[in-house]
Amino acid sequence: MKPTVIGAWCTAIALAAGVAAHAQAQDPTYARSLAATCFTCHGTDGRSVGGIPPSLAGQDRNYLLQTMKDFKAGKRPATIMHQHAKGYTDEQLELIATYFANVKPGPSAAPAAPAMRGGY
Ligand code: HEC
């Protein structure tokens, strides 16, 4: 193969990878799977049981995003949210914030972690 042909192939592969990454960012199931990591504590779809920790469902997108960025930077006091926020890129935090902002607030469907709440 001539070097120019290899170069063309590399460009094609790089473009395809870029399109795939973009498609993933647009995929609503990807956003939900990121947000699902928060359900254990913040309740299914961010509707927490008894408001502890606070519900995320229907909160303002910018508030959620800024809060997560502040946790990530250690600017906002927290017990465990610092560690959690550090696990995500800013792009992923945007997807998570958008996801929760679009959920209708409401009663929790089921306690996410009954064992942690005295097992009722
Ligand atoms: C292990 C349990 C746990 C998980 C998992 C968790 N959180 Fe939290 N979250 C908390 C606790 C506890 C607080 C109160 C602050 C603190 O002590 O860290 C909190 C606070 C917050 C707050 C501030 C709410 C407010 O209005 O004061 C936001 C926003 C938040 N979490 C978002 C998230 C997001 C988004 C995820 C998933 C990426 C997540 N949390 C995962 C336990 C959790």
Domains of the chain, first to last: 28-108 (1.10.760.10)
Q: pLDDT by residue (tens digit) across 20-75?
A: 555 566 677 999 999 999 999 999 999 998 889 999 999 999 999 999 999 999 99
Pairwise CA distance, residues 54 & 42, whole Å: 7
| CB-based pocket (< 6 A), ligand 1 | 37-38, 40-42, 53-54, 56, 64, 67-68, 78-81, 84, 96
Q: pLDDT by residue (tens digit) across 66-91?
A: 999 999 999 999 999 999 999 999 99
| Closest Cα to atom 42 of ligand 1 | 41
Of residues 97 and 12, more confidence is placed in: 97
